A and B are shown apart, each in its own frame.
Chain A
């Protein structure tokens, strides 16, 4: 029996406008409303509305046997309310079918777990309330921003009452294990862990339209054959991806919608296949082993670590200065100030400052509203300076943005590269793979991403 577990991530940040030094103290409108509106309308038309329609039809056609899961960030939900209410309506229709589960995450899609656990908790609770308010669901499964995960996080989340959590099935963590089973995180034995099957997920999300991929074109028939091949070899196939795969990353003319429409039909041809939501997956299948993930793992870039957001001093410095202001912002009691500050915690702002790969075609560049990561940094820091001034005005306390944060302490003590040896797992070491062997197992994302994404 193989249960296909689809999980879609929906998120839009509140993008900053170009905030110059002359705006500091003079103009506290940080966000580019015009651009955010534009992007929302575009993505709604190309992705959210048509894909929701496809899912709704599939749910009706298969009488509840077709089931999926979503996590929608709080800032995305706010933007639906503000710019595209029909999208919100369409998600509520999906919720009403009883076949769609909504997870929880941080309301502001932030990296707050790494910097301020109090703030993290508040953002999770805010999200829990919002999801309950809009979709009438009490979420039981959690996913952290960009699937950033480690043992301690699992423990923390367990403390908040969740039953399940998602993470990336990265090779350097799995070792010889398969992502097609349910696990239990170390230090959180009451929770279950679902790991993304990145090979199959990325076949749809990244490689689908890549003409130089040897498996191109990917048909529903071919894909369901691959999925069904896991029968007897696994319980779940976790297909986790960005919802914008459908219509935005993979345009309509690649046939992605037809693929999605025909996929259940092909999968059902094998009588042992079915679809589950995340809660159903963790309820149905027992955990086969404990998973020990001491170092942080994420679903971003080739490294699958934190380097996309916190790999360079610009990002470190900006994040450090941001969270330093947190206490004072919240104690000011000013709602707008708190809301503005929180919108700055959205991880995308850090993502835009990545100078890891400055080569053409890099995925960071495609989603970047700025000309360069340096511009992103400048606008962000100028905004922080304005926040500092507002704090000063309200609390009469002196606050300065440190302009010299070369050696900002990283929020995580150990190195971001997880060990490749599986010495700390239960049981014997079956295979110990050297970093280069593991690295060669990674499918070359860069080349494939180049051909896929369009500039926002």
Chain B
């Protein structure tokens, strides 16, 4: 009985929405597992920037995610949290108020976001988002989205990362609208090809098969999809991520270390995929030639203890600093202080970290085995395994002042030009393409 009432309420609410809708704008139903402030990694921030830019281009966006704090809202788009709309537990009338609350707008959104980013740890959020029941959650999410899809009005579906794929497929089936899936990372890249979780692989593959088009965030990922997932090339569109809008809040912290030493910086998860071990080996080679360099290995991860041991083994304990987990402000400060930033990733679907360094006028050395190396010109590129070349380039940037300055200057300009309107425009093109494909049939 109550379920029936809920259904009626929802039906009326969706039909008589207070917002005025202009008929000729494209409407997109977007599915994401994360969204700030409830996010655990880069994908959440990417979704935030992308949705913002899409709305600026006149797209009417409804963003649906599985869980989040009940007070979560967006001031520029409709944000639905499936778990709050359809709680698994008993339905109560007050939940209806909650769902009415989800449509309200809030001016304090950005301030809340900033506060959250500064204080909360990603570990807790990650546990909440990707707990042991995540498969179950994905299928539950699919059930809820199926319902939303019959009630919401939209032209296309855009789904981020594989946990949303079952829901995306359900939405497509329920509404008959075209679907584009947006691949940010694959299970293959996460596992390094060893011990691929078959269940995850199946979800990824099915999503890409059912989709009308597939967005890959780099050619690197595109090749992975062709080679390891059997996705035909014609179906894939590459849309590169952009950089964070500039933030000049960081004052130039002239750290004391810099009076005697140069600083080489690594920031990232200390895990196989990010190549911290190559960073350490390159450090040894650099220090053999120039001892006045300090290496900062920032971040946490499963390989951290091993890295500390290796550094001790090499006799470099006094040359390394392991600050552990760093919040956003600390990251920005370190980026500003560092003389050179190194991203030695073994396999990186895109790689936003060097962009943050370049935005703070720090030259970057990046692995060629990354998506971002396809778009950047004013960086130095190395093969992640080529420790000699990595050391060679670190020393060149530290010693050749002209090179250092050129990379700083041009790097900053390059990153400033990587604005989110560009990938947003590409997405709009892709939406139009899908609609044309449909009408062509």
Which residues of A are in contact with B by a Cβ distance under 8 Å?
18, 20-22, 312-314, 316-317, 355, 358, 371-372, 374-375, 377-378, 381-382, 403-406
Count B-side interface residues using an 8 Å CB cutoff: 22
Q: Give complex CA distance A374, B405 in Å.
A: 12
A21 neighbours in B (Cβ, 8 Å): 289, 391-392, 395-396
Q: Give complex CA distance A122, B402 in Å.
A: 30
Q: Give complex CA distance A312, B406 in Å.
A: 9
**If A355-B410, A377-B403 touch, does A382 touch B377 (CB 8 Å cutoff)?**
no
B389 neighbours in A (Cβ, 8 Å): 18, 20
- Nearest CB of A to B380, in Å: 6
Interface residue B407 (Cβ < 8 Å from any Cβ of A): yes
Q: Give complex CA distance A193, B410 in Å.
A: 41
Provide the main secondary structure of the chain A interface.
Answer: loop
- Nearest CB of B to A327, in Å: 22
Which residue of B285, B400, B405 contacts A378 across the interface (Cβ within 8 Å)?
A: B400
Which residue of B380, B381, B388, B402 contacts A317 across the interface (Cβ within 8 Å)?
A: B402
Interface residue B123 (Cβ < 8 Å from any Cβ of A): no
A372 neighbours in B (Cβ, 8 Å): 377, 380-381
Determine if B377 and A403 form an interchain contact, defined as CB atoms under 8 angstroms apart. no
Q: Give complex CA distance A378, B394 in Å.
A: 11
A371 neighbours in B (Cβ, 8 Å): 381
Task: Tell me the chain B residues, 360-399 only, with Cβ under 8 Å from chain A.
Answer: 377-378, 380-381, 388-389, 391-393, 395-396, 399
Provide the main secondary structure of the chain B interface.
Answer: helix
Determine if A403 and B399 form an interchain contact, defined as CB atoms under 8 angstroms apart. yes
Q: Give complex CA distance A372, B393 in Å.
A: 13
Interface residue B401 (Cβ < 8 Å from any Cβ of A): yes
B410 neighbours in A (Cβ, 8 Å): 355
Determine if A406 and B400 form an interchain contact, defined as CB atoms under 8 angstroms apart. no
Closest to B389 in A: A20
Which of A21, A403, A404: most chain B Cβ within 10 A? A21
Closest to B394 in A: A21
Determine if B395 and A375 form an interchain contact, defined as CB atoms under 8 angstroms apart. no
B378 neighbours in A (Cβ, 8 Å): 355, 358, 374
Q: Give complex CA distance A316, B406 in Å.
A: 12
Task: Tell me the chain B residues, 82-141 only, with Cβ under 8 Å from chain A.
Answer: none
**If A21-B289, A355-B410, A403-B401 touch, does A378 touch B393 (CB 8 Å cutoff)?**
yes
- Nearest CB of A to B382, in Å: 10
Closest to A405 in B: B402
Which of A317, A371, A374: most chain B Cβ within 10 A? A374
Q: Give complex CA distance A406, B406 in Å.
A: 10
Supply 20 A–B pairs (Cβ within 8 Å), ascending by A: A20-B392, A21-B392, A22-B285, A22-B391, A313-B402, A313-B405, A316-B402, A374-B406, A377-B402, A377-B403, A378-B380, A378-B392, A378-B396, A381-B400, A381-B403, A382-B396, A403-B400, A405-B401, A406-B402, A406-B405
Q: Give complex CA distance A423, B407 in Å.
A: 41
A355 neighbours in B (Cβ, 8 Å): 378, 406, 410
Which of B395, B401, B403, B410: most chain A Cβ within 10 A? B403
**If A22-B388, A313-B406 touch, does A377 touch B400 (CB 8 Å cutoff)?**
yes
Q: Give complex CA distance A21, B289 in Å.
A: 9
Q: Give complex CA distance A382, B392 in Å.
A: 9
Which of A18, A312, A403, A406: most chain B Cβ within 10 A? A403
Q: Give complex CA distance A381, B393 in Å.
A: 12
Q: 5 smallest A-B Cβ distances: which pairs? A: A404-B401, A20-B392, A317-B402, A378-B396, A358-B377
**If A20-B392, A21-B395, A21-B396 touch, does A374 touch B407 (CB 8 Å cutoff)?**
yes
Determine if A378 and B403 form an interchain contact, defined as CB atoms under 8 angstroms apart. yes
Determine if B380 and A374 form an interchain contact, defined as CB atoms under 8 angstroms apart. yes
Closest to B395 in A: A21
Determine if A406 and B401 form an interchain contact, defined as CB atoms under 8 angstroms apart. yes
Q: Known contacts A312-B406, A355-B410; can you find 19 more A-B pairs with CB under 8 A?
A: A20-B388, A20-B392, A313-B405, A314-B406, A358-B377, A358-B378, A371-B381, A375-B380, A377-B400, A377-B403, A378-B392, A378-B396, A378-B400, A381-B400, A381-B403, A382-B392, A382-B396, A403-B400, A405-B402
Q: Give complex CA distance A72, B38 in Å.
A: 68
- Nearest CB of A to B358, in Å: 14
Closest to B396 in A: A378
